[in-house]
Amino acid sequence: MLRAIFRLVVIDQVVREPFSSRCVARHMPGISVDRVALFLTRHSALSPKDRNPIFIRVCRGRYRFNQRRLSEVDVGQVYEKE
Protein backbone atom coordinates (compact mmCIF):
# COMPACT_ATOMS: atom_id res chain seq x y z
CA MET A 1 0.00 0.00 0.00
CA LEU A 2 2.92 2.35 0.70
CA ARG A 3 4.17 2.12 -2.87
CA ALA A 4 0.69 2.81 -4.24
CA ILE A 5 0.34 5.93 -2.07
CA PHE A 6 3.88 7.02 -3.01
CA ARG A 7 3.03 6.65 -6.68
CA LEU A 8 -0.21 8.64 -6.38
CA VAL A 9 1.32 11.49 -4.39
CA VAL A 10 4.95 11.80 -5.46
CA ILE A 11 5.38 10.23 -8.90
CA ASP A 12 2.06 10.76 -10.69
CA GLN A 13 1.03 13.74 -8.53
CA VAL A 14 -2.64 12.73 -8.78
CA VAL A 15 -3.15 13.50 -5.08
CA ARG A 16 -1.63 16.58 -3.44
CA GLU A 17 -0.17 16.85 0.05
CA PRO A 18 -1.58 17.03 2.63
CA PHE A 19 -3.85 14.16 1.65
CA SER A 20 -6.61 12.26 3.39
CA SER A 21 -7.49 8.58 3.31
CA ARG A 22 -10.56 9.43 1.25
CA CYS A 23 -8.46 11.19 -1.41
CA VAL A 24 -6.07 8.25 -1.68
CA ALA A 25 -8.73 5.50 -1.59
CA ARG A 26 -10.61 7.19 -4.43
CA HIS A 27 -7.73 6.28 -6.77
CA MET A 28 -7.12 2.77 -5.38
CA PRO A 29 -9.84 0.41 -6.62
CA GLY A 30 -10.69 -2.43 -4.26
CA ILE A 31 -9.27 -0.76 -1.16
CA SER A 32 -11.61 0.79 1.38
CA VAL A 33 -11.26 4.22 2.95
CA ASP A 34 -11.11 2.58 6.41
CA ARG A 35 -8.17 0.39 5.40
CA VAL A 36 -6.22 3.37 4.04
CA ALA A 37 -7.08 5.41 7.16
CA LEU A 38 -5.80 2.62 9.41
CA PHE A 39 -2.57 2.34 7.40
CA LEU A 40 -1.95 6.10 7.56
CA THR A 41 -2.69 6.22 11.29
CA ARG A 42 -0.38 3.32 12.13
CA HIS A 43 2.50 4.77 10.13
CA SER A 44 2.28 8.41 11.19
CA ALA A 45 3.36 10.78 13.95
CA LEU A 46 2.31 14.19 15.16
CA SER A 47 5.82 15.65 15.19
CA PRO A 48 8.05 16.07 12.12
CA LYS A 49 11.08 15.57 14.39
CA ASP A 50 10.16 11.92 14.92
CA ARG A 51 12.34 10.11 12.38
CA ASN A 52 10.52 6.76 12.42
CA PRO A 53 7.10 7.30 10.85
CA ILE A 54 6.55 7.41 7.11
CA PHE A 55 3.78 10.00 7.34
CA ILE A 56 3.38 13.20 9.37
CA ARG A 57 -0.10 14.07 10.58
CA VAL A 58 -0.69 17.69 9.56
CA CYS A 59 -4.17 18.01 11.04
CA ARG A 60 -7.09 15.72 11.75
CA GLY A 61 -7.33 13.27 8.88
CA ARG A 62 -4.61 14.93 6.75
CA TYR A 63 -1.13 13.55 6.18
CA ARG A 64 2.06 14.24 4.25
CA PHE A 65 5.15 12.17 3.62
CA ASN A 66 7.97 12.46 6.13
CA GLN A 67 10.77 13.85 3.92
CA ARG A 68 13.39 12.14 6.09
CA ARG A 69 11.92 8.72 5.30
CA LEU A 70 10.95 9.41 1.68
CA SER A 71 14.32 8.25 0.37
CA GLU A 72 13.68 4.77 1.82
CA VAL A 73 10.83 4.06 -0.57
CA ASP A 74 12.18 1.96 -3.43
CA VAL A 75 11.21 3.99 -6.48
CA GLY A 76 12.37 1.27 -8.87
CA GLN A 77 9.85 -1.18 -7.50
CA VAL A 78 7.10 1.41 -7.73
CA TYR A 79 7.62 1.64 -11.49
CA GLU A 80 7.93 -2.15 -11.91
CA LYS A 81 4.68 -2.82 -10.06
CA GLU A 82 2.44 -1.74 -12.96
Higher pLDDT, 51 or 30: 30
Q: Which domain holds residue 28?
A: 2-81
Q: Round to whole Å and give the CA distance between 14 and 18.
A: 12
Mean pLDDT of 39-51: 78
- Answering whether pTM is above 0.75, one says yes
Task: Judge whether residue 20 has pLDDT over 80.
Answer: yes
pLDDT of residue 28: 93
Number of domains forming the structure of the chain: 1
Mean pLDDT of 50-71: 84
